[in-house]
Amino acid sequence: MSKRAKCSQCDFLESRCLCAYLFPIENQTTLIILQHPSETDHALNTVRLMKKTFQKIIVITDEKFSLNSQFMELYKNFKESMGLLFLSPSSLPIENYSDRKLSSKITHLVLLDGTWKKAKKIFHLSPELHSLPNYALKSQQKSQYRLRKSPIAGALSTLEASVLALKIVEPTINLQSLELLEKAFDKMIENQIDKMGQETYQENYLRKKTKEK
């Protein structure tokens, strides 16, 4: 077997295959991922795992979505039941959904996929997003995304944020499948750390974080 051979199912190297963790997730809430172009080919982008599992997911790659016909069609058809998961001064805790305090049922949940800087740019360049009910997670869960940094305390990957949000808006969703997806994410990060070596990881990530504190 070639060391560079890819698994035909998960698209990772066969030596780092994640198929054991990737199973269909029958989510009722459609996830709309607005992805910045810089994320498309990023080796550690979490949306590639989400596309392999979530049965209702739409990924659109662009920067200015007001000019994107696919997004604008979705916005036109579903804006009354569409919510945006994005931290802003006006965002409400999505946890309130379980208390039925949100004004309407969310059928389509929009997430911005990119670095914090790129996500903010998408938000500012796409006025339609400003008109959507805006929610954020109150969760203090620590991200397992050990190889990418964010200037925002408590920031989560797109995958982690999606999983937490779906647990709230869909209390009957299959939790075991969500847990397996999170394990796939953890394994993807572990594989990358193994590839670079513990010494490099310690020097470039752990020690830098310690110095920053």
Our measurement of the distance from residue 128's CA atom to the centroid of its chain's CA atoms, rounded to an integer in Å, reads: 20
pLDDT of residue 72: 98
Q: Radius of gyration of the chain from Cα atoms?
A: 18
Query: Cα separation of 27 and 39, whole Å?
Result: 24
Tens digits of per-residue pLDDT, 57-91? 999 999 999 999 999 999 999 999 999 999 988 89
Strand order in the sheet with 57-61: 57-61, 30-35, 108-113, 82-85, 134-136, 92-93
| Residues counted in the chain | 213
Q: Which residue has the tokens 């953890």?
A: 186
Residue 46 has pLDDT above 90, yes or no: yes
pLDDT confidence bin for 212, thresholds 50/70/90: very low
β-strand 30-35 against 92-93: which pairing, if any? unpaired
Residue 155 has pLDDT above 50, yes or no: yes
Tens digits of per-residue pLDDT, 159-179? 999 999 999 999 899 999 999
Alpha-carbon torsion, ordered 43, 47, 50, 54, to 10 deg: -150
Residue 1 has pLDDT above 70, yes or no: no
User: Across residues 40-60, what is the average pLDDT?
Assistant: 93
**Contact indicator for 17, 10 with CB cutoff of 8 Å:** yes
Question: Averaging pLDDT over each range in 29-33, 96-100, 133-137, which range is the top one?
Answer: 29-33
Residue 185 has pLDDT above 50, yes or no: yes
Residue 208 has pLDDT above 60, yes or no: no
Mean pLDDT of the chain: 85
pTM (2 d.p.): 0.86
Q: Is the dihedral of CA 210, 120, 31, 67 positive or negative?
A: negative
Alpha-carbon torsion, ordered 156, 160, 164, 166, to 10 deg: 130
